[in-house]
Amino acid sequence: MPTSGKTPVLLDLTIDNITPNTNRINAQCEDRRLKYLMERLVTHLHDFARETRLSTEEWMAALNFLVGCGQISSDVRHEFILLSDILGLSLLVDSINHPKPPASTEGSVLGPFHTHDAPTLDIGSSMSSDPEGEPLLCICTVKDTAGKPVAGVKIDIWETDSSGHYDVQHSDRQEPSERCVMISDSEGRFWFKGIRPVSYPIPHDGPVGKLLERLNRHCWRPAHLHFMFAKEGWDNLITALYMRGDPYETSDAVFGVKKSLVVDLDKVDAATAKEYEIKEGSWLLKHDFVLVTKEETEQLRDKNAVDALKKLGLQLKLVDHLPVPDLD
């Protein structure tokens, strides 16, 4: 394809003029959102190289690190999600996209271990097949911010086995385990049997693990249970509940812990044991989740975006709820 008349002349590019010229040629893009994303990406990437006077060896090491992340990734492992997690980017993107009004349940990081093959189980079922795990009964509700039950919510729940591994981390995985989908009942309730979560290291046999080591950081996450709530008309809630007192409670390798998500475990008493068909003395977790409507979240997200961009001094407007330069 020959160059069009509009193409800027690219010649004699230097440390000082490479950025505007790269942005000028990328500005041929007709998708204004992608154009804005690229303009910001190129500017930050180049500023990074200029501020660090990045050496050729460091540049090559970084590119090889990225190849390594891609090559260790697979259907059941996403090293770039892990990288985003340990750099705080995942927490940031989640916070931007799912602002929570007061009294609603806060979000937490998705992590790389959610799958789409978890079985839908009846309320009250057990989702664990690990005989070594300490039995845990979870009794939960889903409500709106006014305290009204939300029925028919699809809830993804997943946790590690007692060895601290998700099912997909076992190479001999036959079927999903320690994960399920439940649907909240007409009173917004759901309960299930799992095992008491344990703290575990994120996968550290790859490039991200080596990076954490070089940074003198540990690779542990505090014990937690993952939840994802989805229902038409409601903002998708990705969150987790963290067990109070875990040694990594305040140093989560992926920055996911929030005070409002740290919970205390209790013990199942005789009456509860009988009602829920579980052994007396098992661990008990009770929690009430609060969802926000899609509309309320969208309004809050737009408002936050406008306020934040104004504070940053950027002349942008929202199109389809995402900022692009305001050229009018």
Stretch 297-326 residues interacting with a second copy (CB under 8 A): 301, 305, 308-309, 312, 314, 322-323
58 binds a second copy (CB under 8 A): yes
b/e code 66-78 from CB counts within 10 Å (16+ = b): eeebeebbeeeeb
Q: In sequence order, which residues have a C-beta less than 8 Å from that of residue 56 and are 6 or more positions away?
A: none
46 binds a second copy (CB under 8 A): yes
For residue 40, the one-letter residue type is R
26 binds a second copy (CB under 8 A): yes
Distance CA 116, CA 103 (A): 30
- Our CB check for a second copy shows the closer of 17 and 120 to be 17
Distance CA 18, CA 198 (A): 50
125 binds a second copy (CB under 8 A): no
Bridge partners, residue 158, by sequence: 179, 226
State which of positions 221-280 bind a second copy (CB under 8 A): 247-252, 255, 257-259
In this structure, are residues 248 and 175 in contact, taking their beta carbons and an 8 Å threshold?
Answer: no
How many residues of this chain bind a second copy (CB under 8 A)?
Answer: 93
CB of 132 to a second copy, least distance (A): 23
b/e code 132-169 from CB counts within 10 Å (16+ = b): ebebbbbbbbbbbbeeeebeebebbbbbbbbeebbbbb
Q: In sequence order, which residues have a C-beta less than 8 Å from that of residue 249 and are 6 or more positions away?
A: 222, 242, 257, 262
215 binds a second copy (CB under 8 A): yes
- The stretch near a second copy (CB under 8 A) out of 4-12, 123-131, 142-150, 271-279 is 4-12
- Our CB check for a second copy shows the closer of 68 and 149 to be 68
Pairing relationship of beta strands 266-267 and 200-201 according to DSSP bridges: unpaired
b/e code 186-224 from CB counts within 10 Å (16+ = b): eebbbbbbbbbbbbbbbbbebbbbebbeeeeebbbbbbb
172 binds a second copy (CB under 8 A): no
- Per-residue x/- track, 278-297, a second copy (CB under 8 A): --------------------
Among 5, 94, 162, 194, binds a second copy (CB under 8 A): 94
92 binds a second copy (CB under 8 A): yes
CB of 212 to a second copy, least distance (A): 10
116 binds a second copy (CB under 8 A): no
Among 32, 68, 161, 210, binds a second copy (CB under 8 A): 68
- The stretch near a second copy (CB under 8 A) out of 69-77, 130-138, 140-148, 176-184 is 69-77
Distance CA 224, CA 90 (A): 17
115 binds a second copy (CB under 8 A): no
70 binds a second copy (CB under 8 A): yes
Q: What is the C-alpha end-to-end distance of the chain, expressed in Å?
A: 32
Among 5, 11, 171, 233, binds a second copy (CB under 8 A): 11
CB of 221 to a second copy, least distance (A): 11
Among 45, 103, 123, 319, binds a second copy (CB under 8 A): 45
With helix as H, strand as E and coil as C, how does 81-106 read? HHHHHHCCHHHHHHHHHCCCCCCCCC
